[in-house]
Chains A and B, each alone.
Chain A
Amino acid sequence: MSAEARPRGAAPLALTLLVILAALLPLALSDYRTFQVTLALVYAIAILGLNILTGYNGQFSLGHGAFYAIGAYTAAIMMSEWQIGYYWTLPVAGLVCFCAGFLFGFPALRLEGLYLALATFALAVATPQILKSDHLAPLTGGVQGIVILKPNPPFGLPLSQDQWLYEFTLAVAIVLFVGAWNLLRGRSGRAIKAIRDNPIAAEAMGINKALYKTLTFGVSAFYTGVAGALGAIVIQFVAPDSFTVFLSITLLVGVVVGGLASIPGAIFGGLFVQFIPNVAEQISKAAPWAIYGVFLIAFMYVMPYGVWGLLRALHERIERVRRRRSA
């Protein structure tokens, strides 16, 4: 049984404490740091989306950057072209991406493992070109991209813009994480995991594999799309070259580092992809991505189940020792 399926007595209390601490965090940080942590949360949501698909359902995606881009552009276009409030862009971006993901899920049904990785890799590589194309330029602003105005805190709250955006993102993140947790521990979650572990057996048990797989693709894209929209709002800018294959790689890194099939892991993943490039840059001014790649490979050797997997393994070892002592 995974840790998230059985909340014991202390856990909800600890979680509430954590949430309160998180909400108070901006008081201790500069605006710039707050902005960075907000982005880490945004990535965490995107990573959670990818994890739902790859970690829990076993469908490889090297192309989630595309859904992130769709979400981001949806938000940007709504805000700059149609002057719609930033909060409305989230559900719309989510819905658009859900449809996109659901539709992509159909052809994905026929592709296994490596081949699906290849197809999504192709999607990731082609995305910037599609965004730059002249056909979509009137909408997307072509190579130039779109600039968005930073939203102000509502009701005249005494917060800076960065602080408000942080609290907003935190709230959205909490809602989405709880939603994922609920989804994955219920009947649907079991079906989703069953399909990953043994697709034939799952089908034999009456699970509609096709429906679940495409829906999972949709949900996964929904999450990443909402993250994309949030990201666009926070950074105030979208342009095709922000959504290259390296973005998809970044999201995958987050899943792997945080831990496959782990919800809390997404937070570690988000923090990693946001802050490690800075660390890498300090180690080597010239080639931060090279250090990044080294981290990736090192994780595969040393911590293949990510940070969360390591914590879980440690926890189990402690439990075993404790049980042996009391026996």
Chain B
Amino acid sequence: MDLFLQQFLSGVAIGGIYALVALAVVMIYQASDHFNFAQGEMAMFSTYVAWSLIAAGLPYWQAFLATILISFAGAVALERIVIRPVEHAPVLNQVIVFIGLLVIFNALAGWLFDYTIKPFPSPFPEQPLFGNPYIGAHELGVIGVTLALLALVFAFLRLTPIGLAMRAAAQNPDSARLVGIRVGWMLALGWGLAAAIGAMAGIMLAPIVFLEPNMMIGTLLYGFAGALLGGIDSPAGAVVGGFLVGVLENLVGAYVPFVGTDLKLTVALALIMLVLLLRPNGLFGRRIVRRV
């Protein structure tokens, strides 16, 4: 029972990170009907930016905020400059560009910051809250941040006119133009927000797994799995999906002897395949009924 609780809770904790990545994935999807394969590397790069700011002497929360803003602005610029020329190109071409970005960010990080593993501070206290043996303060903090962010994103997408405009622009760019929406800038906005969320995911992850250029490659996969599981058009679903993936990963790893700790990524792979095949709308996605 003890083992179960521990695995469950640490699954929830890491699930918080996956939920953040899943949220970023959904954000880009809501804005552009695309999966940004470079999401993870961009988040990793943002984390390095934060690390540099902290190493340069900036207090944690200032570095945090600055990184979020820089990531937002950088991603907006990236979308307008690098993605825009292929906006109308076939999907394969766009995917290639994303992969190109993945590769560039990964290499840049290694080049600018070298490949040694770096420790990263956590804003949450060292001692576990209430002296509980199951879950550390940082993990609880991650869950809190994730939920807060979910609330913000939900409010933004569902309750603000700009959020609505962004979703409309992604679903039907031509009609969106005809109601006066500047579709190009909506795309850029989506990218910026996704990058900001991704940066947060990286900053929350680094204290747990330590900062190095390949930090996010596996995590991105878990994020995708979470987003798909929860339903690619539902931010709340993505967050729930992320938590579920974290818990599943841990429980399967602990209780299914075949899997052990070293086949966890395979679990993510299997999950993705299963969801795509059996329930492509995910657990909470709304069924898209189209009248032909």
Contacts and interface: CB of A to CB of B under 8 A. Distances in A.
Contacts of A60: 91-92, 95
Interface residues of B, number: 45
Given A114-B91, A122-B224, A129 B276 contact: no
Given A118-B224, A125-B218, A134-B262, A256 B269 contact: no
Given A111-B276, A121-B37, A287-B107, A126 B96 contact: no
Interface in A97-126: 107, 110-111, 113-115, 117-119, 121-123, 125-126
Interface in A115-148: 115, 117-119, 121-123, 125-126, 129-130, 132-135
Greatest chain B CB density within 10 A among A60, A125, A133 is at: A125
B181 to A, nearest CB: 23
Interface stretch (A1-9, A28-36, A75-83, A288-296): A288-296
B86 A301 contact: yes
B92 to A, nearest CB: 7
B78 to A, nearest CB: 11
B234 interface: no
**Interface SS of chain A: helix, strand, loop or mixed?**
helix
Interface in B247-274: 258, 260, 262-266, 268-269, 272-273
Given A110-B276, A122-B269, A129-B262, A249 B99 contact: yes
A53 B280 CA distance: 23
Contact of A126 (B82, B97, B101, B268): B268
**Interface SS of chain B: helix, strand, loop or mixed?**
helix
A77 to B, nearest CB: 20
Given A129-B262, A290-B111, A304 B89 contact: yes
Contacts of B35: 114, 117-118
B221 A288 contact: no
A28 B223 CA distance: 51
A41 interface: no
Given A110-B277, A260-B92, A304-B89, A293 B102 contact: yes
A296 B95 CA distance: 11
Contacts of A288: 107
A252 interface: yes
B230 to A, nearest CB: 15
Contacts, number: 133
Contacts of A118: 35, 224, 228, 272, 276
Interface string B93-123: 1011101111110111011000000000000
Contacts of B80: none
Interface residues of A, number: 45
A294 B104 contact: yes
Greatest chain A CB density within 10 A among B99, B258, B272 is at: B99
B85 interface: yes
B75 to A, nearest CB: 16
Interface of A: 54, 60, 62, 107, 110-111, 113-115, 117-119, 121-123, 125-126, 129-130, 132-135, 245-246, 249, 252-253, 256, 260, 284, 286-290, 292-294, 296-297, 299-301, 304
22 contacts: A111-B277, A118-B224, A119-B272, A121-B37, A125-B269, A129-B266, A133-B266, A134-B262, A256-B96, A260-B92, A286-B110, A287-B110, A287-B111, A288-B107, A292-B103, A292-B107, A293-B99, A293-B101, A296-B99, A299-B96, A300-B100, A301-B86
